[in-house]
Each structure stands twice: as C-alpha cells, then as structure tokens.
Amino acid sequence: MTNRREFIVNLSLGGTALMAGSAVMAQGAMVAEADAQAKALGYAADTTKVDAKKFPKHEATQNCTNCALYQGKAGAASGGCPLFAGKQVSAKGWCSAYAKKA
C-alpha cells in the first residue's frame, strides 16, 4: 500500500521521464528522402547524391553541417533543422534551401 507522499513523488518522476522521452523522440527521427517536405526541397541525405541536372547550383562542398539552418552540434552525424520540424537531417545532407553559414 502506498501513501499519498509516495504517490506524488512517483507521479512527478513519471511525468519527468515522460517529458524527457518525448523530447528525445521529437528530435530522434531522421527525415526520410521520401517525405513530402524533403522531396519538395530536394533533400538528399548524402550531398554527393544530389541530382546535378535538377540542382545545377549545388556544389559538393555544400552540406547541412555548413548550412545556416543546421542546428546540430559540431561533429554530430545529424541534427535538427527548422525546415523539418521534429526530425533530424544528416550532417552530410543537402537541400535546395541551403544557406552558407556566415
């Protein structure tokens, strides 16, 4: 039998764990190239596989890591991007919204 104090402590711990888990899941999923937003922006998880005919201004040195929109940490394999809310992009990826970091 649990008393009220134990119940409240367990409830707060459970709520904290639930919030932490949802934050990880919100930024955990990788954006798929087949995703509608990804297709619209010409996203490729590997910048070397961008369709050069469709995006002639793309350069091999352009990737998510050196894009102003990329929110990943230096050296990370992936990170967030405001264009793909709640999903991560590959650090080696590219899309047509690329904007060189200043």
Q: Check if the beta carbon of residue 73 is closer than 8 Å to that of residue 48.
A: no
Q: Where are the domains of the chain?
A: 1-27, 31-102
Measure the CA–CA gap between 64 and 5, rounded to whole angstroms: 49
- Over residues 57-98, the pLDDT tens digits come to 999 999 999 999 999 999 999 999 999 999 999 999 999 999
* The CATH number fitting domain 31-102, selected from 1.20.1440.230, 3.40.50.300, 3.40.710.10, 4.10.490.10: 4.10.490.10
Longest Cα separation, the chain:
69
Alpha-helical (H) ranges within the chain are 4-28, 36-40
pLDDT of residue 4: 65
The more confidently predicted of residues 41 and 12 is: 41
Portion of the chain with pLDDT greater than 90, in percent:
72
pLDDT of residue 1: 54
pTM over 0.75: no
